[in-house]
Amino acid sequence: MNPADAALLDEFIDALWLQDGLAKNTLASYRSDLALFAAWLEPRHTPLGAVGETEVNRYFAHLLAQPSPPKPSSQRRLYTVLRRFYHWLLDHGRIGVDPLLNVQSPLPGSRFPKTLSEDKVEALLAAPDVTTPLGLRDRALLELLYATGLRVSELVGLKLFELGLSDRVVRTLGKGAKERLVPIGDIAGEWLERYLREGRPAILGGKVCDEVFVTRRGAGMTRQMAWTLIKKHAAQAGIPRERISPHVLRHAFATHLLNHGADLRVVQLLLGHADISTTQVYTHVAQERLKQLHQRHHPRG
């Protein structure tokens, strides 16, 4: 750490002790967090007082990409100390803009997403018996989840008029009633067309329903039913129960895109995240891609 940053940290920690009377261990943890951040910034020739939002986001992504990423409680402590440090700098006229102004706080109790390897996803997608109408429905549902990264609630809420099969897109309303168009690709599009042609009419048996994914009662599928189906087919594919969550294919969608070189902001748009820091949690499982980038761009890679 350069002497100027070290002096700045000492001054800030002293101010915290005088202002809040924090315990010695707490102050030591705060100083350690800031010192590690300063050490990460040093090879980038960026002092603590010149940090912007980009550096903060990249630092969190760097931490989450480690083999043993920090616990959620440690993430929140880091966010808290960075917030306090830059508020202090702002209040004392040392900086003009708070670099954490638009950086989202890690959620209480947040955990790293459960995800699956590409082989496991293939096994899950192949689990339904597509010789039956219900199996066709389930295969189309799983394919669409993996192809689009839709939330389960978004998927079960899909209406027929929101499908753009000729253009291979779906229109969905996400959180905050924000509409987005998401590509579905040819494979998911073909399974969806087959389900609509062969499976859905047989399931409905003459009943009418606006939702894409339906039950024998002639109604749209619920989130709980979709989750039950995911668990059922995961068990058939030999995937351990602890590796499964309602959004397991959404997580796989994001992780596999990053592994294959997708830009983080593109993934953010596809997932419908309002803030890119929400998307960054997926970077910790994209180890293969990170290693490739290191080998390609680092002088000693």
Q: Which residues are catalytic?
A: 151, 175, 247, 250, 273, 282
Structure tokens at 245: 């969550």
Whole-Å CA distances, 296 to 42, 59, 292, 301? 22, 20, 6, 7
**DSSP H or E run through 214:** none
Q: Is 42 exposed, middle or buried (0-12, 13-18, 19+ CB in 10 A)?
A: middle
- In the 8-state DSSP scheme, what is residue 273? -
* Partners of residue 192 on adjacent β-strands: none
Structure tokens at 78: 């880091």
Whole-Å CA distances, 284 to 113, 212, 275, 288, 300? 10, 34, 17, 10, 22
Structure tokens at 158: 């899909």
